[in-house]
A and B are shown apart, each in its own frame.
Chain A
Amino acid sequence: MLLLLIVVGVALAFDFTNGFHDTANAVAPTIATGALKPRTAVAMCSVLNLVGAFLSIKVAATIASALVAQNLVTLPVIFAGLIGAICWNVTTWYFAIPSSSSHALIGGVIGAMLVMAGGHSVLWSGLVSKVIIPAGLAPFVALVAAAVAVVAARRLTSRVDASTSTMGFRIGQIGSSSLLSLAHGTNDAQKTMGVVTLALIANGSLSANASTPVWVIVACAVAIALGTFFGGWRIIRTMGKGFHHLTPQQGFAAQIASSAVILTSSHMGLPLSTTHVATGSIVGVGAATTNHPVHWRLVGNVALAWVITLPAAGLAGAVAYFFAHLIGGTFGVIVLALVAAAYLALIFRLSRRHVVNSINVNDAIDGIGEAVAPKTPVAV
């Protein structure tokens, strides 16, 4: 029972980091264009993430049943996978890289499963068809949708006076940002719901292929909303200011395109990375317009981080499982939890050297390296 409680607690901690890490996906363009004040945008996003988490559990079912052999999953495996995902999420947050929380989670669990039971424990067809192919496809679909949308918007509003256009698209951005926040809650909260459901099945508290209990839905919704409320300002800054200068028209088109991709994939039960989609859309609207060039070097760095997220989180999950198993039992899990907590404390302490928050989130940046050193110093 203690082990189950620890695993559920760590899962909710992961959900918190997921919200924290992915706030940028929904609000970065809204904040960058000044459509909403940073704190207001983040608070709104948090509430809508909470609501979105209750809308559907189809992705949760995919996570729980389509990626690993349920009958082989044990609580230490899930724990190790979550530890790997949390460590990767927090590390990428420190470096202000918008990487995928979903892939970190899936990678972590698969890495631990491979060490525990070998290759046959992973449902490779599910991994390829539900994760890897959509991961490769999603940013390009979002990029194309956003690029076509922004070109159409520009042509249709070419005779609209600048003030009406700016005001109209800023109001539109509030709506599109709300929709995207809802979409994020619908898609991402479910991933942790899937993992907690797996843990309950592994513990024998639920039968195989059981549906997600209501208390799991509520707990995951609250955890992701809380994480979102604290706002991952570093990543918001990268997405809002790093790729190119966003106008309200571009921000609106990017957010609507992202929402369409995420909600459609949620509807079809595909656990898409909202980060990949949101980044693809932002890059798409920049590539389709010539007034402000896209910083392709940063795009390349972020794409590289996407490629290594699955194996890196997998490696972290595998190492975590190896040591937890080596020490043995619940005690091994507790020791690993303490080691992970120490690592998180170290990263948090390092992050205080260059604070990014609601005050300096709109400072211009050139790339990932500079993303941790804003030009407006903030008192710690």
Chain B
Amino acid sequence: MAATSSSPAPFIDWSLLGHVVVYSVVIGVGLVVAFSFGLAALSLARGTGRSALVRVTGSIVSVVMVAAIASALVWGLMLIVKK
């Protein structure tokens, strides 16, 4: 990887490693938070004794969260495939 570069590559590419660390933590935590938020919203929507507004809002939020997670995964996989 480094051999063909015109300028000498650093012995350890801390920038690359830093990107892996930051993106991994942000994406990993973000997806779990989104899923949990959707699950909590679904629980609200399914709960007994809730108003219609709460039920509808809960359902919409849970669907939006699932869609957001699916979109993030598809986008991530497309980035990898493009490479």
Is chain B found bound to chain A in the same assembly? yes
Interface residues of chain A, those whose CB is within 8 Å of chain B, are 55-56, 58, 61-62, 65-66, 125-126, 128-130, 133-134, 137, 141-142, 144-146, 148-150, 152-153, 156-157, 159-161, 164-165, 168-169, 172, 179, 182, 186, 209, 252-253, 256-261, 263-270
Let me know if B25 and A157 touch, CB within 8 A: no
Contact A152-B36, Cβ < 8 Å, known A55-B81, A164-B46: yes
Q: How far is the CA of A345 from the CA of B37 in the complex (A)?
A: 51
**Are B17 and A137 in contact (CB-based, < 8 A)?**
yes
- A-B pair count, CB < 8 Å, reads 134
Minimum distance in angstroms from A132 CB to a CB of chain B: 9
A152 and B29 contact, Cβ closer than 8 Å, known pairs A157-B40, A264-B24 = yes
Q: A56-B81, A156-B37 are in contact. Are A168 and B42 (CB under 8 A)?
A: yes
Which residues of A have CB within 8 Å of B27?
260, 264
- Partner pick for A145 among B16, B28, B37, CB 8 A cutoff: B28
Contact residues in B for A66 (Cβ distance below 8 Å): 1-2
Q: Which residues of A contact B33 (CB under 8 A)?
A: 149, 152-153, 156
The interface residues of chain B lying within 8 Å CB-to-CB of A142 are: 24
Chain A residues with Cβ below 8 Å from B25 are 141, 144-145, 148, 260
| B: contact size bracket | 35 or more
Q: Known pairs A130-B1, A137-B20; list 12 more (Cβ under 8 Å).
A: A56-B80, A137-B17, A145-B29, A152-B33, A160-B39, A209-B4, A253-B32, A260-B24, A260-B25, A261-B28, A263-B77, A264-B23
* Smallest CB-CB A-B distances: 4 pairs: A260-B28, A149-B32, A145-B28, A156-B36
Whether the Cβ atoms of A252 and B2 lie closer than 8 Å is no
Closest residue of B by beta carbon distance from A253: B32
Distance between Cα atoms of A250 and B1 in the complex (Å)? 38
